[in-house]
Every structure is written in structure tokens, then in C-alpha cells.
Amino acid sequence: MNFLFLSSHAHYALDPSSTRVSGGAELQVALLAKELASVGHHVVVVGGDTGQENVRDLQGVKNVTGGRFHTGHIGDTLLSLPRILGILHSEKPDYLVIFGWTALLWIFAKVRPLFGYRLVFICGLDTEIDGSFGRDRGWKGRLFEQGVRLADRRYAMTRSQETHYDRLGLSHAPYRSLVVSREKTSPSAKDIDLLWIGRCQKVKRPGFFLEMARRLPDARCTMICSREDIPLWEQTSREAGGIPNLDFIESVPYHAVHGYYDRSKLLVSTSEAEGVPNVMIQAAQGGAGIFSLEVDPNGMIARYGAGFCANGDFNALCEESSRVIADPIALAGIAAGASAMLDEWLDNSKNIDLFLAGLS
């Protein structure tokens, strides 16, 4: 089969030499594209123009530049459309796959009869289908929600997403996250107590981690916080500079970030909404426990004993983190739970078969 993905920055994750980084949806697109190509499918990723070569083969995936559709400016999007439509005409995909929200989803649903592809939407965040996008993001959010309804295939990463689809009366199939392949390495010294990694967005609530570092002054904290919401990032960066036990890093390339997970005792998530965050998966690969303020996707943290979910109780998150980072036995138990989660839930071969089954 022929697959075409539209993704702003998945090429960063596919290119081992790239020093740039984006988010979890782009990483999942890269992993899904690479795995599909490895089992014999023809896969094209149309990426935003960030100065890369126009056409490249990266890990068996054809990467094509689709213009500046990723900037969020309506003028850039409109100017990129003829190029993207030309790629659709020349590549003739059986499936056009969109991971996460974009108003372009509606446009691709409307032009579908001209090209004959089936439109696939994979939900990234629960908030994409809970009705809030149309309220919070104006006409772009409303177009996106219509695009979700018009898609031929829809995927849910979590049980809560399944519930939202059911409430909307929309069919859906399960999507299980893919894992970055890693060579086995010797265990690293755990010289980071608390690690936070994410794009600087309001939904990630980075301020909670800053406050956590203040409350636990003896904890060695690292925050990798890439720019997205610029005013929020500037405020976060400024506040982080005044916390002596916090190492603030703007970004780390996809291929270099593993070392931070390996060195960490606990990954901390402060997001108010997620699908299945890649940071949690990668933390488990690195033997780090997963501590979350709000989100336990599919109950995996509790089910496998991979960490702790505070269910919104920030005081409990701080208290339990302080206790566990000082308890080697508790840390070992959590690391074993995280390993079991990887073995039983996150198997790339099984999850690719599950994705393909959902297309039928």
C-alpha cells in the first residue's frame, strides 16, 4: 500500500544528523512511517519547509518538502496548498494520514474525490475531540472538528478518546504508540532526580515543575523545555534561572535525548491532557519511573506499577517524589514496572499490525 503523511517536522526525527526537535506527534509519525516502510509499504512524508532538501530518503521513507504550511499563518498555508496537492497527484497514495489537529484535515476531506485516497486521522490529545477545539480555536478549530467527522478512518490512543468518539457517534480503531528502537546500554548513574521534557505549551503546565523544584531544594532537577509559546517560554526560562537546583535546557535533538532518561530517577509530567506521551515511553526505556500530576494514559502507570499518578493533587506529587527518589528499593520496583509496561503494551511489530487492521 501507499501511505502519505502530512507532518510539520517528522523529518527531524527521521534524520539522525538533525539537531532540531519538535514534539511527540512528529516522533510518532516518523516511527509509524519507518515501520510501515520496513514491512514493504511505500511511504512518503510531506514536511514543512524548514530549509531541508526538497526530496530525501531517510530510513527508507521518502521525504518531500510541502511548503510553509506549518507556520500557522493562513497566507503560508494557502501558498503551500498547490504544492501539496501536486504531491498528492504524483504520489497517488492509498491513505493520507494526519496525526493530531490541523484545519487542513477538512480541506483534505473535501478534495478527497479528486485523488481517490482514504483519509486517516490519529487523535493525539484528548482535547482534540472533546469539543473544546471549536470553542477555543475559532474557525480553524471548527473546520478541524468537521474534518474529524469526515475522515474515513479514525484512531484513538486512549480509552478516554474512545469515549469521546463514541459520544460523537464516530467509528474508531485503536492506535498503540510505537517505541524508538535503542541498543542495550550499560546502566547509567542516576544523577538526575527529577526530569521534565516537553514543548513549552500551556497544556504542559511547566510552571508546576518550577514550583516542584522550589519545594524540593535537595532534588537534582533537569528541565528540557523547547520554545513554542514564546511568551510562556520566556517566563519559564526566566523563572528557571532563579532556581539553583534546576538545570534548564532549551532543546535536545531526538537522537541525543536518551541519555537524559537513562540518567534520571523519575520523569515528571505536569500536562493537563495527553494521549500516550512519548516521554513516558522513553522514560520507561531508560529505567526511569513515571510520575504524573494528572494523566495516566489507559491506566498504564497504575496497572504496571511504573510510577505514580497524583490525580491532580500537586502536594501529593511533591511528597511522593521526595520519598521515592531517596528510596533505592522503591525506585527499583518502579523501574521493573516500567519495563513490564514496555514488554507487554508497547511492541512495535504488534502495534503496526494493529494499525493496519484498523484500516480494513
Extract the C-alpha cell encoding 153: 478512518
Alpha-helical regions (H) of the chain: 10-14, 24-38, 74-91, 104-110, 112-115, 132-136, 138-150, 159-168, 206-215, 230-240, 258-262, 278-285, 300-304, 314-325, 328-345, 348-358
Specify whether 303 is located in the same domain as 241: yes
What single-letter DSSP state applies at residue 21?
-
Q: DSSP per residue over 201-255, as a string?
A: -GGG-HHHHHHHHHH-TTS-EEEEEE-SSHHHHHHHHHHHTT-TTEEEES---GG
Average pLDDT, integer, range 87-91: 97
Classified as helix, coil or strand, 119 is strand
**Of residues 286 and 180, more confidently modeled:** 286
Provide the number of structural domains found in the chain: 2
Average pLDDT, integer, range 144-166: 95
Residue 13 has what pLDDT? Answer: 83
Specify whether 329 is located in the same domain as 200: yes
Q: Return the number of other C-beta atoms located less than 10 Å from residue 332's C-beta.
A: 12
Asked if residue 241 is part of any domain, the answer here is yes
Asked if residue 283 is part of any domain, the answer here is yes
Average pLDDT, integer, range 321-340: 94
Residue 96 pairs in a beta bridge with: 4, 119
| Predicted confidence (pLDDT) at residue 358 exceeds the cutoff of 90 | yes
Asked if residue 184 is part of any domain, the answer here is no
Specify whether 156 is located in the same domain as 17: yes
d(CA 94, CA 152): 12
Average pLDDT, integer, range 69-77: 85
Specify whether 29 is located in the same domain as 151: yes
Specify whether 49 is located in the same domain as 166: yes
Average pLDDT, integer, range 198-213: 94
pLDDT digit string (tens) for 172-187?
A: 999 998 988 776 555 6
Specify whether 244 is located in the same domain as 96: no
CB 244 within 8 A of CB 220: no
Specify whether 332 is located in the same domain as 240: yes
Asked if residue 115 is part of any domain, the answer here is yes
What single-letter DSSP state applies at residue 131?
S
**Residues counted in the chain:** 360
Asked if residue 200 is part of any domain, the answer here is yes
| Predicted confidence (pLDDT) at residue 41 exceeds the cutoff of 80 | yes
Specify whether 24 is located in the same domain as 155: yes
CATH value at residue 49: 3.40.50.2000
Specify whether 9 is located in the same domain as 158: yes
Extract the C-alpha cell encoding 52: 531541508
pLDDT class of 53 with cuts at 50, 70, 90: confident
User: Torsion angle of alpha carbons 57, 13, 347, 24, nearest 10°?
Assistant: -140
End-to-end CA distance of the chain: 12
Average pLDDT, integer, range 52-56: 87
d(CA 26, CA 93): 20
pLDDT class of 343 with cuts at 50, 70, 90: confident
Asked if residue 37 is part of any domain, the answer here is yes
Asked if residue 185 is part of any domain, the answer here is no
Show the domain range for 25. 2-179+348-358
Say what percent of the chain tops pLDDT 90.
66
pTM (2 decimals)? 0.81
Residue 120 has what pLDDT? Answer: 98
Residue 39 has what pLDDT? Answer: 95
Specify whether 212 is located in the same domain as 274: yes
Q: DSSP per residue over 141-189, as a string?
A: HHHHHHHHHH-SEEEESSHHHHHHHHHHT---EE-----------PPPP
Say what percent of the chain tops pLDDT 70.
98
